[in-house]
Amino acid sequence: MELMVMVVWTLWYRRNQIKTRHLDFPTSQVVPQASQTLSDFKLHNISLPSLQGVVGHVRAQAQWSPPPMDCFKVNFDGAIFLELGKAGLGVVIRNWQGNVMASLSEQAPLPISPDIVEAMAAAREISFAQELGIRPFILEGDSDVVIKTFMATEDSLSSFGHIISLAKSTLTTNE
């Protein structure tokens, strides 16, 4: 069942690549690509042992640092509000002195995963910075997987890869 879902998703992804970028890969590669993507997904989503009963488990506090002079730092974060069936997207733009130059908070329909919420927040961050003419800026957020996807040169086949690809394409066309 999982492989079938991944094959359907890969066909959908292939179709979108053909329509939007005129890129194509042979249909003979759909099943191998889907199988590889499913393997990658399973590898990166291994269940961690329960931390129930662990005392003193504390996440290291991150320290914010200002961007270089004449640059901005644009921070994003996403939140899930299950009781409302909504996601929250937040953006804060700071200058090199750490002063808040702009901020944004929006609600969005609740997507299927926290990573999608973070990707939506990151994409909104980029469009917000561009709307305000903020340049140059440094993208910052607490989702390693979203940041790594932004930094990657190849398109991501993750559930939020299309969101990141669209945001990255606006960066290159508006520079």
Residues 6+ apart with CB under 8 A from 90: 76, 77, 78, 79, 103, 104, 105, 121
Cα distances (Å, whole numbers) of residue 64 to 30, 32, 60, 137, 155 = 43, 43, 13, 15, 29
Strands 100-109 and 86-94, by their bridges, are antiparallel
| pLDDT value for 53 | 43
Mean pLDDT across the chain, nearest whole number? 79
The whole-angstrom separation of Cα 38 and Cα 28 is 17
Q: Render pLDDT for 27-37 as a digit per residue (tens, 0 to 9).
A: 888 888 878 87
Q: What is the CA radius of gyration of the chain?
A: 19
Q: Is the pLDDT of residue 58 over 50?
A: no
pLDDT band at 114 (very low <50, low <70, confident <90, very high): confident
**pTM of the model as a whole:** 0.59
Q: Kindly list the domain boundaries of the chain, sorted by start residue.
A: 2-44, 72-173
Tens of pLDDT, residue by residue over 116-172, are 999 999 899 888 888 898 888 888 888 888 888 888 888 888 888 888 888 888 875
Q: What is the model's pLDDT at position 153?
A: 83
Please state whether beta strands 72-81 and 86-94 pair in parallel, antiparallel, or not at all (unpaired): antiparallel
Pull the structure tokens for residue 44.
Answer: 């990166």
Single out the residue of 94, 117, 91 nearest to residue 104, CA to CA.
91
Fold type of domain 72-173: Nucleotidyltransferase; domain 5 (3.30.420)
